[in-house]
Amino acid sequence: MHRAGKPGRLYSSRALEARADFASLSNMESRPITSYRAFWPYYLGEHTRPATRMVHCFGTSVAIIIVVLAGLFGEPWLLLAALLCGYGFAWLSHVLIERNRPATFKYPLWSLIGDFHMCGLIWLDRMDDELQRLGGNPVGRRP
């Protein structure tokens, strides 16, 4: 179910977190993932904390803006800045918040697609629905 009109849910004091038990993720890591459909639950399992998702979406959003600016102003060096921004924020969130290794290293293309997919769901306020659809049952995690 979509719950419109609740701004700030990603970073509110009542932030929801998905349990990392999507479709037996531990088994998925031990064998190669061969489709994006199979990768998506794994990807979300690597982004269980709302703060990780928020930082990812921020970095992706700024990277998109920088790419548009690079095109408008004909400045190719901005494309490098976009990559650094997008991946920089994402990797920092994995190191400092999620405390895991980014999926980028194992599945670079699907990870990039996953970033846009997740960010799109966040922009549309559909992330909680997607987590529930995949059986994540969003609950708060205790440190």
What pLDDT, on a 0 to 100 scale, did the predictor assign at position 7? 43
20-24, 26-30, 116-120: lowest mean pLDDT where?
20-24
pLDDT digit string, tens, across residues 62-98 = 999 999 999 999 999 999 999 999 999 999 999 999 9
- Judge whether residue 125 has pLDDT over 50: yes
pTM exceeds 0.85 for this model:
no
Where along the chain do its domains lie? 57-135
Q: Give the CB-side neighbour count of residue 142, counting CA atoms within 13 A.
A: 0
Contact 103, 43 (CB under 8 A): yes
Give the per-residue pLDDT at 30: 67
Residue 135: per-residue pLDDT: 83
Report CA torsion sign: 88, 108, 129, 28.
negative
How do the residues of the chain divide into helix, strand and coil, expressed in percent and rounded to 5? 60, 0, 35
